[in-house]
Amino acid sequence: MRSKTAESSHAITPIGVVAPPPILVQTPAFEGTLAALFRCVRDRKVDLMEVPLEPICQAYLEYLMDSPETNLDEAAAALTVLAYLLERKAWQLLPSEDIEPEFEEPAALPDPTGYAYSDVIQLLLGGHEERSKLFFRTSGPDPTLYEIPYSVGEVTIGDLARAFENLIRKAEPDEIDVLSKPRKSLVEQMRVVLLCLTKEFRPITALFVGAYTRNDAVYWFLSLLELIRLKQAAVKLEGEEVLFAKK
């Protein structure tokens, strides 16, 4: 049995409930997050007797101690879940003639997915879908147009990334600049890159004369991408190598 906390990236789940912190539970009977364990126990898919709760409580305390800026909503959600699990287990452990009371889901721990409004939500989503097929007059003389992504043929983002990686690898470390030193604008850099491009396809490193820094590499590459987008430069793949030329 192992319980540990992981980095939280989303405080609010897609169902709108503040999620408990991602405490990972690993037992022979169950493996997953605390929230998943809660759902499985609630839906009686996991036998809680097979899941020791002490390490989970320990992991929760560690989460509280280790996180200097604990999200109170998350912490409260975890506490609610733990209290629920402990209560359920207590009913199972203690000898009692009483029958375990049925949990009143909507009142105590609401389940948004099974909510009374779910039919309405479906109806609204249907209406929204239908509405998205209708286009109305837009306000103002300048409607916001959608820029159709420019295709670079067989060259993929991965190929471009590889070309950039090669470029960076050959760059020399940057000199320490004075902070207030003005930098060349991208427009100026694009002008330089355009002058260096020829009709003949060449690798990006061939465009440089002499040594260059990482900063130069980033500026050159961004300028090249912008020139490709503006259809002033072309790119193609030859074997594994990405080549650039003037259009």
Partner 1 sequence: MTLVDQLEALLFVSEAPAKLNDLARVLNLAEGQIEQGLEILGHRIDGAGAIKLVKIAGGYQLATKSEFSELVGSYMKPQKQRLSRSIMEVLAIVAYKQPITNGEIEVIRGVQSDYGVRVLQERNLICEVGRKQTPGRPILFGTTQQFLHQFNLDGLTQLPQLEVDALPVLSADNGQEELMSTEEATA
Minimum distance, C-beta of residue 10 to partner 1, in the bound complex (Å): 11
Question: Smallest distance, Å, CB 38 to partner 1?
Answer: 14
Q: CB of 34: closest distance to partner 1 in angstroms?
A: 17
Q: For residues 144 and 180, which CB has a smaller minimum distance to partner 1 in the complex?
A: 144
Q: Is there a contact between 45 and 88 (Cβ–Cβ < 8 Å)?
A: no
Cβ-proximal residues to 94 (8 Å cutoff; 6+ apart), any chain: none
**Residue 15 or residue 49: which is nearer to partner 1 going by CB?**
15
- Lookup: tokens for 171: 């760059």
Q: Which helix (H) or strand (E) holds 5?
A: strand 2-5
Q: Smallest distance, Å, CB 19 to partner 1? A: 11
Pick between residue 113 and residue 151 the one whose CB is nearest to partner 1.
113
Answer for the pair 20, 77: CB distance below 8 angstroms, yes or no.
yes
DSSP string covering 72-119, please? HHHHHHHHHHHHHHHHHHHHHHS--SSPPPPP-HHHHS--GGG-TTHH
Q: 24 in helix, strand or coil? A: strand
- Output the six-digit token pair for 214: 């990482």
The residue among 12 and 49 lying less far from partner 1, judged by its C-beta, is 12
Other C-beta atoms lying within 10 Å of the C-beta of residue 186: 13
Q: To the nearest whole angstrom, how small is the minimum distance from the Cβ of residue 105 to partner 1?
A: 10
Comparing CB distances to partner 1, the nearer of 12 and 61 is 12
Q: How far is the CB of 41 from partner 1 (least distance, A)?
A: 18
Helix (H) or strand (E) holding 235: strand 233-238
Residues near partner 1 (CB under 8 A) are 12-18, 73, 106-110, 112-113, 115-117, 119-121, 123-125, 127-128, 130-139, 143-146, 148
* Distance (Å, whole) CA 205 – CA 213: 12
> Nearer Cβ to partner 1, position 142 or 175?
142
